[in-house]
Every structure is written in C-alpha cells, then in structure tokens.
Structure 1
Amino acid sequence: MFRFDHHTIAAQTLFFKDDGATPNSRYPVLLYRLGAVAALELACAFEALFAAHQWTPLWRDGIFDYHHFHPNAHEALGVVSGHARVILGGPTGQTLNLEAGDVVVLPAGTGHCCIASSDDFLVVGAYPQGQEAYDTQRPDPSLHHQALGRIAAVPDPALDPVTGKAMTQWQHGKSHGH
C-alpha cells in the first residue's frame, strides 16, 4: 500500500471571513499537496490514513456544485483522481485548483463548491469520529446566527487527518478574526 511521508508533509493555511451567509471558521483550511499515485491505490490509502488518525472515511464521490458548508462537522477531502476548480469560503471566497493527491481539511462552517471538474474527479470524504452524521447547509443569511451556534459547539478533532499529529493549527486562541 502507498505510504505518505509524514515527516515532510506541510500544510498551506487559508483563512476565510464570515460573509453574513457563509459562516466559515476562525480556524484555517489546511491544504496538503501530497502528489498523485494510481487512483484506486490512493483511494484506499486516503481511507486508511484518515481512519488511522481518527477520521472516518464515509464516501467516494465528487464535491457538490453549489455553495454549502457543514455546521456540525469538520471535513477532510482527499482527491483521488482527476482535477477540479473549487471555491472555498463562499461565493466571494478563493478559487483553488485541486488535483489527485491533494487533501483539503475544512473546519466546520467553511463554504465550498465545485465549479468545474474533470470526468474522472473523485474524492474521499472523511469526518472526525463522532461527527459522521454531518449536515449540509447552503449559505442563508436568515439561518446564519443559528449556524454560528452549531459551529461553535463542534469539538476540535484530536488529530490532523493527514499527519496524525495534534491539530496545533486549530488550537483555541490561534485565530485570524471572524
């Protein structure tokens, strides 16, 4: 089975502000660029990696083509094959190109939307243990305050889904304004 070199993995951090409809998070999105290998092998590798670090892999599919977020769960997305352009942070957020081998770790409330993808685009989705019953919510100013309360109640994951180390990037107090 393919193995990731945990000692050389570093995450890029991306911050997104609350826009009044998409709450986003005080925690950064973590973007890992791990590189590509054969798709089936990578899908199994991501599932094993996430599970070993207390994140439950729940599905293999694409990313919804509408803006949404999860107010009650953090989410890890491991790109297995293909490539896509996604917007993170809501409609006024940042567009990223994702490709096989990339992992995006989204704190609860972070908006995301796939705007274009190759036919073979495939993602493994995983959630911290205890957060498997995630809700999907579209940005809506009338539900915004309620979403903020739900997001604040989401417990921090014990481990980073990629490195298996403590989630130091998400420690309380290490925020970037909200």
Structure 2
Amino acid sequence: MAVVEEIKRVAERVTGRGRPSPDQRADSVRARKAHLFRFEDDGIIPNHPRWPLILYRGAVRFDDGLDPAAVLEDLFGANGWGDSWRNGIYDYVHYHARIHEVLGIARGRATVQFGGLKGRKLTLKAGDVAILPAGTGHHCLDASKDFLVVGAYPPQGTYDECTRSEDHARASRTIPRVPRPRKDPLYGTQGPLLTAWRRPRREA
C-alpha cells in the first residue's frame, strides 16, 4: 500500500489532481470536541507523563473528487506538521520517544490500542484525527482492507521508534523534553492541543 500511495502522491503533486485548493482545505475542517485520553507508565510503555492523547471524531470532511489523503496532508502541512506518510498502523506495540505524531484516517476503519497492552482500544474511521504525545504506545488490532492513515510530525523533535522494554529508561528521560508544538495539526493556533498540552511552569 505504501508504495502505491507514494506514487499516487507524487502524481498528485505534479498534476494537482485530487489535491484541495486553500478554500477547499479550509472548508474540510469541522469544529469538534477534543476527547482526551491519559495513559500511565506500565513499566514497558512510558506514555507521556503530562499530556493526553487527543482524538477528534469526524473532524475532516472529504469532498468527492479530492483524495482524502491529500486533504489530510495539506491540512497538517498548513499547520507546520510535515514529513507525512501514507500507510496503515503497525500491528506491534511501538512509540516515539523524541517526537509527537498525528494520525489522520483517510479511508476505512480500524481498532487501535493506545497506551500499550494495558491501554485503551479505540475504533478509528475516516475523518478522525488522533494526536499522540511522545511516548504514547499504539498498535493496530484489526483493520478494514481499505484502511489508510496519513501520519505527520511537528518540526521540533527527531523521529525514532521504540519497541523494546530496554528502551524504557532512555525514553523516560527524552519524552518530557520534547517541546510542545506551536500549532495544533488540524486547528492551528486556536486548537485544543495548546490548552490540553500545557507547558511546565519552567517553560512559560
């Protein structure tokens, strides 16, 4: 899937087909409540010590004629979240200790467990957007055949992938140091992320 979607993305960028205009991009965003989920350190998956996972249900509307993945890429990119990719979600537990991540659902649906093996199972479907603070464990339990995710990252931070219990000690030190993004990947400077992810007093 990833190879096919990458070819498709390149073609869209060359031709402009399937990609939204700035007005179409803005019109695709719906105001939605931020659902917050907090996860404890389970000894293997650190999760984030202060900041919750944020989930926006049905926050993006996809118009006919536009590629849903392109819409999500452009929305995230307009708010400074880049290095985007198109794929599914790994079926093994992993997390990122040095960067935050946004997952936008372009097609299909899946059951994803967040927070590690002791975390919470959530059903994600097209139009949903989940923002994972560094350290948040996640893996896919089940997905429809057409399930497609667009992932992206804020400019601050460095991509990494942690899967082993041996990663825990190092990750526990780096996770709190990953800076808060300047913009919500979907709602920009007015997004709920800026309230839900409060800076420690020493950073204010």
TM-score relative to the length of structure 2: 0.78
Answer yes or no: is 1:29 the counterpart of 2:56.
Answer: no
Answer yes or no: is 1:138 the counterpart of 2:163.
Answer: yes
- Runs of 4+ residues deviating >6 angstroms: none
Alignment RMSD, CA only? Answer: 1.9
Task: Tell me what 1:123 maps to.
Answer: 149
Note closer, same or farther for the CA distance 1:32–1:39 as it changes in structure 2 (3 Å cut): farther
Q: 1:61 aligns with which of 78, 87, 92?
A: 87
> SS at 1:109's partner residue?
coil
Work out whether residues 15 and 27 of structure 1, in 8 Å CA contact, stay in contact via their aligned partners in 2: yes
Deviation string 1:42-78 (CA, Å, 9 cap, x unpaired) is: 2111111111111104200000000000001100000
Higher helix share: 2
Q: 2:196 aligns with which of 161, 165, 169?
A: 169
Q: 2:34 aligns with which of 2, 11, 23?
A: 11
Deviation string 1:68-113 (CA, Å, 9 cap, x unpaired) is: 0000110000000010000000001000000000110000000000
Work out whether residues 39 and 81 of structure 1, in 8 Å CA contact, stay in contact via their aligned partners in 2: no
When the two structures are aligned, how many residues end up with a matched partner? Answer: 171
Superposed, which structure 2 residues align to 1:72-91 within 5 Å? 72-91=98-117
Note closer, same or farther for the CA distance 1:43–1:122 as it changes in structure 2 (3 Å cut): same
| Structure 1: distance between partners of 2:29 and 2:107 | 20
> SS at 1:49's partner residue?
helix
> SS at 1:160's partner residue?
coil
| Structure 2: distance between partners of 1:110 and 1:92 | 12
Name stretches of at least 5 consecutive residues in structure 2 with no aligned partner: 1-19
Name stretches of at least 5 consecutive residues in structure 1 with no aligned partner: none
Identical-residue share of aligned pairs (%): 43
TM-score relative to the length of structure 1: 0.89
Work out whether residues 71 and 108 of structure 1, in 8 Å CA contact, stay in contact via their aligned partners in 2: yes
Ranked by relative contact order (alpha carbons within 8 Å, sequence separation 6 or more), the top structure is: 1
Note closer, same or farther for the CA distance 1:146–1:165 as it changes in structure 2 (3 Å cut): same
